[in-house]
Structure 1
Amino acid sequence: MTESEGVRLQKVLANAGVASRRVAEQMIVEGRVRVDGVVVTELGTRIDPETAIVDVDGTAIQLDQSKRYVMLNKPTGVVSSMKDERGRPDLRRFTEEWEERLYNVGRLDAETSGLLVLTNDGELAHVLAHPSFGVTKVYIAKVDGRVTPQTIAKLTRGVELEDGPIAADKARLLDASGSTSLVELTLHSGRNRIVRRMMAEVGHPVLELVRRQFGPLHLGTLPVGRARELTKVERGALLTLSRQATGAGPEGDQEAR
């Protein structure tokens, strides 16, 4: 790319919604902007928005505006599929307002509610869904019986399931005041029905299960059955995570190990 080609960096940042051109220029001069891992302070710098990897203050910037990132609070009774062969309620009704063809990242059981990411970004979806990248998910489980601190310790030490041992990254007892308990589990495993199987193994079958967090994303106050586009901050957090995991970002090689 010659110097006369490409787009001025401050214009690229403004088009991406980072800031006005004037503020973007100030960010560049202050050394807060990196292109392909290198700090750029020259205001005349031109880049190719289709190939350049840009971050501001260490957070990745989405330059490709064709990519769509949506958070859904999936209700129970809905299968994690864009088209269910058995005619059960699927995810299509939640994607109708977006023109892009969106796909779910990973799955939640039909009887599990909570945070599901829908996107047309295949690379990001792979990083989020594949357990080798260690993206954590946080679940709140309402379980049968009164869970003890010893049981919580057992979940983090590990339990033996039919497809091999598994340990929670974190486990926390939120409530055990009655005949049921609330347990918070943090896992990066992608194994099928893993929370339900772990809790059954320690003698506390799951009655209700919600995924509250997926990587840097939090369900927050999003109502059940509603979908919304990710905010600029949320998109940046996801893209930063993806680039680090795949080695595309400046910290990538270190993070991917």
Structure 2
Amino acid sequence: MTPPARRDGTPDKKQSNRSGGYRSSVRGYKPGSNRPQQRQQPQKKDEILLSNAKPAKKQNVSADDDWSLGFLNRNDSDGIRLQKVLAQAGVASRRHAEILIDQGRVEVNDRIVTTQGVRVDPKKDVIRVDGVRININEDLEYFVLNKPRGMHSTMSDELGRPCVGDLVSEKTASGQRLFHVGRLDADTEGLLLLTNDGELANRLMHPKYEVTKTYLATVRGEANNKLISELRGGVELEDGPAKADFAQIIDVFQGKSLLRIEIHEGRKHIVRRLFQELGFPVERLVRTKLHTVQLGDQKPGTLRALNSAELTSLYKVVQL
């Protein structure tokens, strides 16, 4: 059927012609010629989001490292495409990873990469997005355990007593080597970090970095402002002075008191000894926070993985 004519008598040019050309609604296009390239729409600022990518333990490259040698000169079959590595690390989808590369926001071994298809070795190359090194080592695990009262902070116990290892037996049986960061005595409950990242664990426990721990302590006696001043001012213990970074009375009831205390020291039973020395023996002690990692409403005996924001915060405080 012949298409209807326009007012000037010419056929409607929106239909394709027999020579295989595209519709002529694009200005300056002649039927039968190749299709012109469409103008690429600008990327919206809020369309690219970095999500859930784990930061690497080490943000710097040593002068002795040879990782930066020749990664741009590898054969096409060597390594994995950079955009795929970024996607696997949770930085962005492959398409958005390509846009990050185009924008010059990705570095490999201290070189900005703007070429698509560059191949990298995830086990050797140092990859950064917006200046933050991305960790793609899937072997590293980070968990928060709410340790119940009466459980020992060991992965196994020769006497058969209940221990942390009993709660993570499935993970250790599957080959994951986890260990606890620091200890909570058997009568103390709450937040305990489990990981197989030895470097992070050692730094979190090192007094140099002064990583704060927050506790809720139920003590015998009615606390007052004098107790708070003494806790913050310092107490002389048998192995040297100790003090709280922060102390606050939450409640006083029936001859007992509930207090929040923050301390960065890691000496054995330090919180209990502080209160004992000041005449307020501890009846219950719960660790609720490690730096910015909080226990929240996590139930006793349960395990959860750290999120990327928590892990970033821990790396930052210990300068990794």
- Normalising by the residue count of structure 1, what TM-score does the alignment of the two structures yield? 0.84
- Report whether the alignment pairs 1:132 with 2:211: no
Match of 1:24 among 85, 93, 97: 97
CA displacement at 1:166 relative to structure 2: 0.7
Q: Specify the structure having the higher radius of gyration (Cα).
A: 2
Match of 2:284 among 184, 197, 208: 208
Task: State the match for 1:42 in structure 2.
Answer: 114
- Larger relative helix fraction: 1
Task: State the match for 1:68 in structure 2.
Answer: 141
Higher relative contact order (CA 8 A, sep 6+): 1
Matched-pair contact (CA < 8 Å) for 2:156–2:166: no
Q: Which shows bigger deviation, 62-71 or 73-82? A: 62-71
Q: Deviations over 1:54-91 (max 9, x none)?
A: 55556653311011111100001100001122221111
Provide closer, same or farther for how the CA distance between residues 20 and 171 of structure 1 changes in structure 2, counting only shifts above 3 A.
same
Unpaired runs of at least 5, structure 1: 249-257
Q: Output the aligned Cα RMSD.
A: 2.3
Q: 1:15 is aligned with what amino acid?
A: Q
Q: Which shows bigger deviation, 169-178 or 123-132? A: 169-178
CA displacement at 1:129 relative to structure 2: 1.6
Provide closer, same or farther for how the CA distance between residues 216 and 62 of structure 1 changes in structure 2, counting only shifts above 3 A.
farther
State how many pairs are aligned. 243
Task: State the match for 1:231 in structure 2.
Answer: 307
Q: Distance in 2 between matches of 1:124 and 1:7?
A: 28
- Larger relative strand fraction: 1
Q: Distance in 2 between matches of 1:153 and 1:160?
A: 14
Provide closer, same or farther for how the CA distance between residues 58 and 227 of structure 1 changes in structure 2, counting only shifts above 3 A.
farther
Matched-pair contact (CA < 8 Å) for 2:190–2:295: yes
- Normalising by the residue count of structure 2, what TM-score does the alignment of the two structures yield? 0.69
Task: State the match for 2:32 in structure 1.
Answer: none
- Report whether the alignment pairs 1:180 with 2:252: no
Provide closer, same or farther for how the CA distance between residues 79 and 53 of structure 1 changes in structure 2, counting only shifts above 3 A.
farther
Match of 2:166 among 72, 87, 93: 93
Q: 1:42 is aligned with what amino acid?
A: T
SS of structure 1 residue aligned to 2:259: strand
Matched-pair contact (CA < 8 Å) for 2:214–2:261: yes
- Report whether the alignment pairs 1:221 with 2:297: yes
CA displacement at 1:32 relative to structure 2: 5.2
CA displacement at 1:97 relative to structure 2: 3.1
Matched-pair contact (CA < 8 Å) for 1:59–1:240: no
CA displacement at 1:136 relative to structure 2: 1.1
- Report whether the alignment pairs 1:84 with 2:157: yes
Identity %: 46
Provide closer, same or farther for how the CA distance between residues 40 and 206 of structure 1 changes in structure 2, counting only shifts above 3 A.
farther
Provide closer, same or farther for how the CA distance between residues 170 and 6 of structure 1 changes in structure 2, counting only shifts above 3 A.
farther
Task: State the match for 1:149 in structure 2.
Answer: 225
Q: Distance in 1 between matches of 2:251 and 2:309?
A: 32
- Report whether the alignment pairs 1:170 with 2:246: yes
Q: Distance in 1 between matches of 2:105 and 2:305?
A: 26
SS of structure 1 residue aligned to 2:275: helix
Provide closer, same or farther for how the CA distance between residues 20 and 147 of structure 1 changes in structure 2, counting only shifts above 3 A.
same
Matched-pair contact (CA < 8 Å) for 1:174–1:181: yes
Matched-pair contact (CA < 8 Å) for 2:212–2:262: yes
Q: Which shows bigger deviation, 86-95 or 39-48? A: 39-48
Q: Deviations over 1:151-201 (max 9, x none)?
A: 112111111000000111111111124411111111111100000000111
Provide closer, same or farther for how the CA distance between residues 31 and 116 of structure 1 changes in structure 2, counting only shifts above 3 A.
farther
Unpaired runs of at least 5, structure 2: 1-68
